Structure 1
Amino acid sequence: MNNTDIFPQIKIERPLYQKDQLREQLRYEDTKKNLLSHCCGEKLRFKRIITKAVPSIRWLGNYDWKGDATSDLIAGITCAIMHIPQGMAYALLGNVPPVVGIYMAVFPVLVYVIFGTSRHNSMGTFSIACLMTGKAVLEHSDPAYFKDLDVLEASSNTTDVSTGYTPIQVATTVTFVAAVVQLAMYFLRLGAASALLSDMLVNAFTAGAAVQVVSTQIKDLLGISLPRYKGYFALVYTVIDIIKNLEKANHVAILISVIAILILCINNEILKPIVAKRTSIPIPIELVAVVSGTLISQYFFLSENYGIKAIGDIPTGLPEPALPPLSLFKDVFLDGTATAIVSYVTSLSLAMMWAQKVDYEVDANQELLAMGASNIVGSLFSCMPVCASLSRSMIQLVVGGKTQLVSIIASVILVGILLWLGPFFEPLPRCVLASVIVVSLKGMLMQVKDIKKFWKLSKLDAAVWIMTFFTVVLVGMDVGLLVGVAMSLISIFIFSFKPYTCLLGSVPHTDLYLDITKYKGAKEIDGMKLFHYSGGLNFATKNIFRDELYKLVDLNPQKEHINRKKLEATQKKLENSTKTFNEKKLVKLSGKINMTLKCVIMDFSSLSYIDPSGVSMLQNVIESFRKLNVSFYIAGCSDRVYDTMVKCDLVGNGSEAIKIFPSIHDAVECVSFILGIHSAVEDGISRIT
């Protein structure tokens, strides 16, 4: 059935407009408002401002205590247990006492719960942020304070110069600097930079980060001791050391790891789907594994009899609040800034992934406020800069956590552990914890298979994925993110240099104008060239625009001007010559001249942006066409583009000012009337007057 049988023919009757006439008649007004009027507007009421700045008010008010509380409770208990060994281990990377890692899971996390928008980010210690902080601690702390701490390679990285600062003081100053930087980014609204983190980039980063995390757990799965490598290519060195030390593997640790992994996999792949059909309460298998491992290790003396590594001593007590020494602010500013950016990008990339999986939104700018406020409080309670942990966040999601109430529960439990129950978990085998982490990363590791889909969709995007993934795996997470963002920018830059251009033709008896190379029913109008340009027109693309224009309209004004001068000279020579002149040469010169083109109409309906360089180029092109008596018009440009043209004096009231029309149909009808060209649409639609 034809569309004409369904829809009636529409007759369009309205005045013909130019852009300035349309603005004047319809009372165009710039809708930009100053800050005062914006804040005083009805839309930004006090309640809305508060709920936006403190998202916890909104989700706590709508919290499903019957449906979600049990899942959050189980997830909170499991994450609390995860915080203990991870916090202690990553604190050593920061060259501070192990208990600092536990502090980081309490004080700053409670602040993040209030201001954060991610429901599943488990904030606290993270290897990269702790390593970057540890570098500053080694450089600026007094070497005397390292004598009683378990700091790897401290003697080779510190000097004998006494600074008078403790490792805690340096670490908290770095945290304070990171907080200041993140809060400054929040007030400058730099959270929009998260747009650079495409789904492709986040997918590659998280898959590579999962490989990194698994590599750090292999030594615990095998029960071997390896040096901890700081900096880049850590995974490469770790794999080499694992291969060298395979003969030293603890067979009992391997057996425990295999049993734990099998039980966890059977639960996740078989039991979990069955239980999910009967009840919404998941089996807390990770919690069961941790508690069971602790009890078995304690009563069977696995550490003493079989050399099984346990998580070790957990000290008790809470830190006293203290201001960081601001005299160190200048010395650690670069370290704090770098740590702030890396921790924010890492946390945001994870938050975006969880939000995509569970279908909710994350406010990139609000995350800056949440992390900045968290680090301000953390700097008062002996904490390093906080960051989301890939493994803990994944477990929080897998176990069934729904909201940041998980973090509150985990923090309360950790306070109790710090005060009373710490020694109970000291016998927990590291291989059990490593098994839980590795199994929880299965889904993230399987993202590697997505490369086939990405390759089919776009070779360039697939290249971004591959480079990001392998850089994260082989070099480091921070460098991987930098490479991914850089390649994403390069891909955008490349696409911006490939604007879509074509010539439009009129669909007979309509006001539609379509690409003549794709729509065979669209016909060109005699004497006119309708040039369509899609993209931005700036200093970088102006030459591409000009070349595409000359190519499609089949007229280069410079060459045309030269050919016309040659033709005039030849004709004059022929008139004054008494000899027989070679007429073939005259015919050849005449063939190079385009005498049929009378008008060029630029369809700028898809022009997203134009800068002064683009306007200047456009002005030169228009002048060059006018010298050949070819009229030049613009149609369909946005108000943003039009305003730029006005500011650059391309549009004005003089006789030489270019005419701009609100639609291409207005331009075609006007030019047809002025030049006396028969319009392909005038037979089907009444002439617009």
Structure 2
Amino acid sequence: MTIKKYIPPGLEQPYNKSLMMKDLIAGLTLFVMLVPQGMAYAMLAGLPPVMGLYASTIPLIIYALFASSRHLSVGPTAITSLLVFSGISSISEPGSQDYITLVILLALMVGTIQCLLGVLRLGFIVKFISPSVLGGYTSAAAIIIGLSQLKHLIGIDLGTYFQAHHLLIGIGRELTNLHGMTVLLGVSSIIFLVILKKINSRFPAALVLILLSSLSVYIFSLQEKGVQIVGTVPNGFPSLSLPTISLESVKQLIIPAVIIALLGFMESLAIGKTIADKEKYKLNPNRELKALGLANMLGSLFQIFPVNGSFSRSAVNHQSGGVTQLVSIFTSLFMIITLMLFTSYFYYLPSAVLAAIIIVAVYKLIDIEQAKFLFNVRSIDGWSWIVTFFVTLFVGIQWGILVGAIFNFCLLLARITRPNIIEMGYLEKEQIFRDIKRFPQATTLEDLIMIRVDSSIHFANISYLEEKIREFLYLKPLANMIIIDFSGVNDMDTPSFEVIEDLKEQLKKEKDISMFFVGMKGTVRETANKLGWDRKFNEEMNYYTIEKLLENKKIKVSTSSDKNHQTPYMYYI
């Protein structure tokens, strides 16, 4: 490994003062975003707000040194914070020292899992969680986050529920206990953030809101009137310490750790790849896994909770002109200075304001339009979204992603075991073969069956192919010839060849039906030859196109009297 691998991405190229100023400005911009977001997401995770600032220091530097992305901004995020809370609050009291200890251990475990996946080059496994599942999960999680923050926004007690119906019931039950001043502060904070966002999206509205609300609490002594405030925020940088590890704790945290590790990587890779494609550079998924893993592992030595790439901050980094990962290092340095000198100014910060920041941030994650789009294009993808959404919303966020992934995997297995197998007919005018179900006007012959297989053939779906062939024969009892087009078959295993060979010989012996194979690709033909098909069925598999076979057998599916007419080859539809 060369020293070049430890240079922040983007610095491999010539770097000058002009580029450094761009990175510095982008770093300051992210810092302004990260202060309120970090504190708010720590509160969402059931932690002291200062831990959000801790999580915005060392992990950023570590990630910058090992990443391949030049623009990804790492730190606390809303959904990861909710996963932390849901994974640990059931076994420990949120905010307690035991809870904090478990969260730090969770960060270590998440980082270890990500590093192992990166070292073993297993980054591809996140591809098994489809965008439709992730979309449904994200939308439902955003709703749960918003509902869970109402307790801070309007000053009521909702307990530690993570199901929408329980939260809604709790809200209804506590409506008579609303705290008027907290409601006024929380609602006005949301209005302030939304309006300023529309006027100028680059204006640091959240930071200004923190300053104004803290000043208001201080001047009018609102904490004495029942408004909850952050209170004392420890001054200084967290000391280096090893996370407390026990076998029992590891067992309790393994499922949340795996979920956070995978989802955090997926979220990071999605935004990182989007920006990398725009900027014309390549992202290395396995390197990203290792960088995120090291950020969490080493960060756990400094009292952090799990971090990953942020959609909003990465987009702002890109829009602000950041060109290298020095942006993350600058952001981290600004945060360290804040921890050393300015944490006392957060004492009067109202919890309702942090809740408002969270609600406004997660609102844009709710994407119901995606479900409508998926149903319009392909309903099965829409159902993946719906199943994940409702399980996440009403059963729990950890179950949501698991059930969604399993549901989608079952759909994948169904497609693998029941591939598209169609009977073709001939369209006179277009002189092409088409699926007779889609084009019922296509011409067919009672004694000829032409089949196209649009999938690799293997032990899991060969029985389905055999069933379909027998089904076609049942519908055409006069058939004496079957043509199977293999042009859509990229691979075929040994058991499948044996089944087809047995079926071919059985049909020939019992019903005098001939079976031909056309359009075999090289890889399929090589396997067939090794099984002796080139000797046993040389004529039956010696045709590369349907037209050659039909011409050789003097079979016409056209009613045309044109002497120059040629039976055409099949085209994919």
Question: TM-score by structure 1 length?
Answer: 0.69
Q: Name the residue aligned to 2:171.
A: 242
Q: Is the 8 A contact 1:75 1:401 kept in 2?
A: no
Do the aligned partners of residues 334 and 353 (structure 1) sit closer, same or farther apart at CA in structure 2, a change above 3 Å counting? Answer: same
Q: Name the residue aligned to 2:571.
A: none
Q: Name the residue aligned to 1:286.
A: 206
Query: Cα deviations across residues 70-105 of structure 1 (Å, max 9, x unaligned)?
Result: 45522321212321353366363xxxx775443322
Q: 2:185 aligns with which of 256, 268, 272?
A: 256
- Equivalent positions of 1:384-403 (< 5 A) are 384-387=305-308, 393-394=311-312, 397=315
Question: Once the 2 structures are TM-superposed, how far is the Cα of residue 174 of structure 1 from its aligned partner?
Answer: 4.6
Asked if residue 663 in structure 1 is aligned to residue 547 in structure 2, the reply is no
Do the aligned partners of residues 116 and 201 (structure 1) sit closer, same or farther apart at CA in structure 2, a change above 3 Å counting? Answer: farther
Question: Once the 2 structures are TM-superposed, how far is the Cα of residue 415 of structure 1 from its aligned partner?
Answer: 1.1
Q: 2:60 aligns with which of 103, 109, 115?
A: 109
Q: Name the residue aligned to 1:580.
A: none
Partner-residue secondary structure (3-state), 2:486 = strand
Q: 1:460 aligns with which of 377, 380, 383?
A: 380
Question: Once the 2 structures are TM-superposed, how far is the Cα of residue 534 of structure 1 from its aligned partner?
Answer: 1.6
Partner-residue secondary structure (3-state), 1:660 = coil
d(CA) in 2 for partners of 1:59 and 1:471?
Answer: 48
Q: Name the residue aligned to 2:516.
A: 633
Q: Name the residue aligned to 1:73.
A: 28
Q: Is the 8 A contact 1:72 1:402 kept in 2?
A: no
Q: Is the 8 A contact 2:55 2:76 kept in 1?
A: yes
Asked if residue 378 in structure 1 is aligned to residue 299 in structure 2, the reply is yes
Do the aligned partners of residues 511 and 396 (structure 1) sit closer, same or farther apart at CA in structure 2, a change above 3 Å counting? Answer: closer
d(CA) in 2 for partners of 1:377 and 1:434?
Answer: 29
Q: Name the residue aligned to 1:343.
A: 260
Q: Name the residue aligned to 1:307.
A: 226
Q: Which letter maps to 1:454? A: L
Q: Which letter maps to 2:237? A: L
- Equivalent positions of 1:559-574 (< 5 A) are none
- Equivalent positions of 1:39-188 (< 5 A) are 55=9, 57=11, 70=25, 72-87=27-42, 90=45, 92=47, 99-114=50-65, 115=67, 117=69, 119=71, 122-124=74-76, 126-131=80-85, 134=88, 151=96, 168=101, 173-188=105-120
Q: Name the residue aligned to 1:568.
A: none
Q: Which letter maps to 2:524? A: V
Question: Once the 2 structures are TM-superposed, how far is the Cα of residue 413 of structure 1 from its aligned partner?
Answer: 2.6
d(CA) in 2 for partners of 1:174 and 1:118?
Answer: 27
Question: Once the 2 structures are TM-superposed, how far is the Cα of residue 109 of structure 1 from its aligned partner?
Answer: 2.8
Q: Which letter maps to 1:669? A: K
Query: Cα deviations across residues 525-544 of structure 1 (Å, max 9, x unaligned)?
Result: 79654321223433333232
Q: 1:619 aligns with which of 488, 492, 501?
A: 501
Q: Name the residue aligned to 1:475.
A: 395
d(CA) in 1 for partners of 2:193 and 2:430?
Answer: 66
d(CA) in 2 for partners of 1:604 and 1:620?
Answer: 18
Q: 1:207 aligns with which of 121, 139, 153?
A: 139
Question: Once the 2 structures are TM-superposed, how far is the Cα of residue 490 of structure 1 from its aligned partner?
Answer: 2.2
- Equivalent positions of 1:584-623 (< 5 A) are 594=478, 597=480, 599-623=481-505
Q: Name the residue aligned to 1:267.
A: 196
Question: Once the 2 structures are TM-superposed, how far is the Cα of residue 497 of structure 1 from its aligned partner?
Answer: 4.8
Greater Cα offset, 184-193 or 205-214: 184-193
Q: Is the 8 A contact 1:635 1:660 kept in 2?
A: yes
Q: Which letter maps to 1:380? A: L
Question: Once the 2 structures are TM-superposed, how far is the Cα of residue 211 of structure 1 from its aligned partner?
Answer: 0.8
Q: Is the 8 A contact 1:136 1:171 kept in 2?
A: no
d(CA) in 2 for partners of 1:130 and 1:69?
Answer: 32
Q: Is the 8 A contact 2:451 2:482 kept in 1?
A: yes
Partner-residue secondary structure (3-state), 1:634 = strand
Q: Is the 8 A contact 1:56 1:113 kept in 2?
A: no
d(CA) in 2 for partners of 1:643 and 1:341?
Answer: 42
Q: Which letter maps to 1:204? A: G
Q: Which letter maps to 2:267? A: L
Question: Once the 2 structures are TM-superposed, how far is the Cα of residue 317 of structure 1 from its aligned partner?
Answer: 2.7
Q: Is the 8 A contact 2:197 2:203 kept in 1?
A: no
Query: Cα deviations across residues 188-241 of structure 1 (Å, max 9, x unaligned)?
Result: 332212223333222212211211221222122113355445xx53x5444433
Partner-residue secondary structure (3-state), 1:223 = coil
Q: Name the residue aligned to 2:525.
A: 642
Aligned length: 553
d(CA) in 2 for partners of 1:661 and 1:514?
Answer: 23
Q: Which letter maps to 2:397? A: M
Q: Is the 8 A contact 2:49 2:230 kept in 1?
A: no
Do the aligned partners of residues 502 and 630 (structure 1) sit closer, same or farther apart at CA in structure 2, a change above 3 Å counting? Answer: same
Q: Is the 8 A contact 2:46 2:95 kept in 1?
A: no
Q: Is the 8 A contact 2:487 2:519 kept in 1?
A: yes
What's the C-alpha RMSD, in Å, of the aligned pairs? 4.2
Partner-residue secondary structure (3-state), 2:455 = strand
Do the aligned partners of residues 504 and 383 (structure 1) sit closer, same or farther apart at CA in structure 2, a change above 3 Å counting? Answer: same
d(CA) in 2 for partners of 1:661 and 1:335?
Answer: 61
Q: Is the 8 A contact 2:388 2:403 kept in 1?
A: yes
Do the aligned partners of residues 237 and 260 (structure 1) sit closer, same or farther apart at CA in structure 2, a change above 3 Å counting? Answer: same
Query: Cα deviations across residues 393-439 of structure 1 (Å, max 9, x unaligned)?
Result: 54665796665666434422321122121101121112222222222
Greater Cα offset, 313-322 or 413-422: 313-322
Q: Which letter maps to 2:507? A: F
Do the aligned partners of residues 355 and 682 (structure 1) sit closer, same or farther apart at CA in structure 2, a change above 3 Å counting? Answer: farther
Q: Is the 8 A contact 1:509 1:682 kept in 2?
A: no
Greater Cα offset, 478-487 or 109-118: 109-118
Asked if residue 415 in structure 1 is aligned to residue 415 in structure 2, the reply is no
d(CA) in 1 for partners of 2:464 and 2:147?
Answer: 48
Q: Is the 8 A contact 1:534 1:608 kept in 2?
A: no
Partner-residue secondary structure (3-state), 1:632 = strand
d(CA) in 2 for partners of 1:518 and 1:137?
Answer: 56
Query: Cα deviations across residues 463-499 of structure 1 (Å, max 9, x unaligned)?
Result: 2212211222223222111121112122223334543
Q: Which letter maps to 2:55? A: M
d(CA) in 1 for partners of 2:446 and 2:392?
Answer: 58
Greater Cα offset, 211-220 or 76-85: 76-85
d(CA) in 2 for partners of 1:503 and 1:664?
Answer: 16
d(CA) in 2 for partners of 1:362 and 1:386?
Answer: 19
Query: Cα deviations across residues 546-567 of structure 1 (Å, max 9, x unaligned)?
Result: 22223335589xxxxxxxxxxx
Partner-residue secondary structure (3-state), 1:184 = helix
Q: Which letter maps to 1:421? A: F
Do the aligned partners of residues 85 and 497 (structure 1) sit closer, same or farther apart at CA in structure 2, a change above 3 Å counting? Answer: closer
Q: Name the residue aligned to 1:564.
A: none
Do the aligned partners of residues 520 and 420 (structure 1) sit closer, same or farther apart at CA in structure 2, a change above 3 Å counting? Answer: closer
Question: Once the 2 structures are TM-superposed, how far is the Cα of residue 657 of structure 1 from its aligned partner?
Answer: 5.9
Q: Name the residue aligned to 2:535.
A: 654
Partner-residue secondary structure (3-state), 1:606 = coil
Q: Unaligned stretches of 5+ in structure 1?
A: 1-45, 139-145, 158-166, 274-281, 557-591
Partner-residue secondary structure (3-state), 2:149 = helix
Do the aligned partners of residues 172 and 133 (structure 1) sit closer, same or farther apart at CA in structure 2, a change above 3 Å counting? Answer: farther
d(CA) in 2 for partners of 1:307 and 1:678?
Answer: 89
Do the aligned partners of residues 290 and 100 (structure 1) sit closer, same or farther apart at CA in structure 2, a change above 3 Å counting? Answer: closer
- Equivalent positions of 1:314-329 (< 5 A) are 314-324=233-243, 328=246
Greater Cα offset, 192-201 or 345-354: 345-354
Please tell me whether Structure 1 or Structure 2 has the larger radius of gyration of its CA atoms.
1
Q: Is the 8 A contact 1:120 1:401 kept in 2?
A: no
